[in-house]
Amino acid sequence: MKYVYFLQSLTAPNQRYIGMTEDLEARLQTHNAGGSPHTSKYRPWKVVVHFCFHDDQRAIEFERYLKSGSGHAFAKKRLW
């Protein structure tokens, strides 16, 4: 099972991050501990929303879509 998740920085609320993991709780701890170069500058983070997928390929495709231009527009309008 995979999770596609949205993070928002608590110190810089305009900073957001989209990712994918099999263990959401552990991944958030890694982000908040500075274990990811993409998110270490704006920690701590909170999970805004997450989606659970039983089909790994669908999770990969959804994350890829969210990181595209149209996916960013969708997320900004519907999820943030």
Question: Per residue in 50-67, pLDDT tens?
Answer: 999 999 999 999 999 999
9 beta partners: 45
Pairwise pLDDT comparison (58 vs 74), residue with the higher score:
58
Domains, the chain, ordered by start: 2-78 (3.40.1440.10)
Q: Would you state the pLDDT for residue 67? A: 95
- The per-residue pLDDT for 79 is 75
Give the residue ranges of DSSP H helices in the chain.
Answer: 24-32, 56-66, 69-78
* 20-44 mean pLDDT: 97
Residue 78 pLDDT > 90, yes or no?
A: no
Cis link prior to 37 (omega < 30° from 0)? Answer: no
d(CA 35, CA 79): 26
pLDDT band at 17 (very low <50, low <70, confident <90, very high): very high
Strand order in the sheet with 16-21: 16-21, 2-9, 45-53
